[in-house]
């Protein structure tokens, strides 16, 4: 009977499944936005970025995706918010960066955590939409250990909460300090050519998420009027392409498997065993997979590609809230969407089954938020090796 090792947390896949990484490798998944779930169809002012593999938005600001396969609104080179050919490939993303308090950001999980004391270079290309009503300078790249999430429409800020009294909570917000920020005097005003933003920094250690955007208020962003702009958009809107992060002084020893293996995060499985995909995310009460799920799904995809005879069941589970019938349908649709993602990436449908268990198999009490969170899960059962 075959046995295998598979990781459950947001860490690199173990030996045999892990992509080879050296000091010259890009640590960003899908760096030029070429991989996607479906072709973009609409630019939605209140939308959520869900169709670009590995990339998502940390706030309510709606980042946009463009591709040559898209509709007229979000096509390439011409689209609803301007006209530009990709720096490379067939797609790119777009975000608002200033003029008003409104902001949009792009976020992604890195291939592996950054190493303490090592020097990294981050670079990406930007192009100002000619429909903008101004240009700014201070686009930055922020690296954090944790995923950033906020419900704001404005500048993404670091927030601390202090309980002053049982009924009063104080919120203290401070500006993030990106490790790399484009120079204040270098206004990013070119609408024809792509401009390179590049810089180096030393990692504090453990950074796993990259967020791109403007982290400064308007008065600190060097907002500049440009005569050639059409002023059709209420802000400075930039296309983003070809994001690259490399380590400049890492050695081969830094990338030895043992440096990243924590045996507590691995479990051994065989036919008939089940394991939980702990980092699969859906909007509340929705069935659409969020792109924060990409790394976990990629690990599962690598596993299935490594073992081409493996067959699995994807099981959806909910917490105890809601009716039996409603939760069964919700969990089934979520499991089906995981299966559909795997099929879209080339896994044969005959290798995949899905089933919704609703709230029938809790693994924790449903009387606490923590327990309900554990019960809302996706499980994989190995049917055949």
Considering the chain, tell me which residue range(s) the CATH 2.60.120.260 domain(s) occupy.
Answer: 24-247
User: Is the predicted pLDDT of residue 164 greater than 90, yes or no?
Assistant: no
What residue spans in the chain does CATH classification 3.30.1330.60 cover?
258-384
CATH dotted code for 24-247: 2.60.120.260
If you average pLDDT over residues 309-325, what whole number do you get? Answer: 89
> Which of 251, 343, 253 minimizes the C-alpha distance to 297?
343
Whole-number CA gyration radius for the chain: 22
Q: Flag whether pLDDT at 4 surpasses 70.
A: no
Phi and psi at 349, nearest 5°, equal -55, -30
Pick from 125-129, 324-328, 350-354 the range whose average pLDDT is largest. 125-129
Q: What is the pLDDT of residue 256?
A: 57
Q: Which residues, 6+ apart, have CB-to-CB distance to 322 below 8 Å?
A: 330, 359
Mean pLDDT of the chain: 86
Ramachandran angles phi, psi of 225, nearest 5°: -80, 140
Quote the strand ranges of the chain, DSSP E.
4-7, 55-56, 64-67, 78-79, 82-83, 91-98, 106-109, 119-128, 139-144, 157-165, 168-175, 180-181, 195-202, 209-214, 236-247, 266-269, 274-277, 311-317, 352-358, 377-384
- Contact in structure between 209 and 55 (CB atoms under 8 Å): no
pLDDT of residue 285: 66
Question: Cβ(61)–Cβ(95) under 8 Å?
Answer: yes
pLDDT of residue 265: 39
Cβ contact 289:282 at 8 Å? yes
H helix runs in 231-323, sequence order: 294-306
pTM for the whole thing? 0.78
Burial of 256 (0-12, 13-18, 19+ CB in 10 A): exposed
* Helices and strands (H and E) in the chain: how many: 3, 20
CB of 356 within 8 A of CB of 328?
yes
For the chain, how long is the longest CA-to-CA vector?
71
DSSP-assigned letters across all residues of 89-120: SSEEEEEEEESSS----EEEEBSSPPPTT-EE
User: Mean pLDDT across the stretch 208-215?
Assistant: 96
What integer pLDDT is reported at residue 21 of this predicted model?
41
How would CATH label the architecture of 258-384? 2-Layer Sandwich (3.30)
């Amino acid at each position: 009977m075959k046995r295998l090792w598979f990781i459950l947390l947001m860490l690199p896949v173990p030996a045999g499944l892990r992509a080879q990484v050296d000091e010259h490798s890009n640590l960003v998944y899908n760096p030029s936005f070429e991989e996607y779930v479906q072709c973009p169809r609409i630019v939605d002012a209140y939308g959520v970025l869900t169709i670009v593999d590995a990339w998502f938005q940390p706030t309510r600001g709606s980042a946009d995706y463009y591709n040559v396969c898209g509709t007229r609104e979000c096509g390439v080179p011409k689209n609803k918010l301007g006209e530009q050919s990709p720096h490379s490939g067939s797609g790119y993303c777009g975000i608002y960066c200033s003029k008003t308090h409104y902001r949009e950001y792009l976020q992604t999980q890195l291939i592996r955590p950054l190493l303490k004391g090592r020097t990294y270079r981050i670079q990406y290309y930007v192009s100002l939409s000619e429909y903008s009503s101004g240009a700014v300078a201070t686009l930055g790249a922020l690296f954090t250990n944790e995923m950033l999430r906020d419900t704001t429409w404005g500048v993404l800020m670091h927030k601390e909460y202090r309980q002053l009294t049982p009924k009063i909570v104080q919120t203290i917000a401070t500006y993030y300090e990106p490790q790399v920020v484009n120079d204040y005097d270098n206004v990013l005003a070119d609408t024809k050519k792509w401009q390179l933003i590049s810089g180096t920094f030393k990692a504090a250690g453990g950074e796993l998420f990259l967020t791109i955007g403007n982290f400064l208020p308007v008065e600190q962003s060097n907002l500049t009027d440009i005569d050639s702009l059409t002023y059709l958009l209420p802000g400075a809107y930039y296309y983003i392409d070809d994001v690259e992060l490399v380590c400049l002084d890492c050695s081969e020893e830094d990338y030895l498997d043992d440096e990243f293996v924590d045996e507590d995060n691995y479990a051994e499985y065989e036919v008939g065993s089940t394991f939980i995909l702990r980092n699969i995310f859906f909007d509340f009460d929705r069935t659409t997979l969020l792109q924060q799920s990409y790394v976990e799904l990629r690990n599962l995809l690598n596993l299935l590609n490594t073992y081409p005879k493996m067959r699995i069941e994807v099981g959806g589970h909910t917490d105890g809230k809601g009716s039996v019938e409603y939760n069964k349908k919700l969990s089934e649709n979520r499991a089906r969407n995981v299966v559909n993602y795997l099929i879209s990436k080339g896994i044969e449908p005959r290798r995949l089954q899905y089933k919704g268990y609703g709230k029938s198999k809790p693994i924790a009490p449903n009387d606490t938020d923590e327990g309900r969170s554990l019960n809302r899960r996706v499980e994989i059962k190995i049917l055949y090796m």
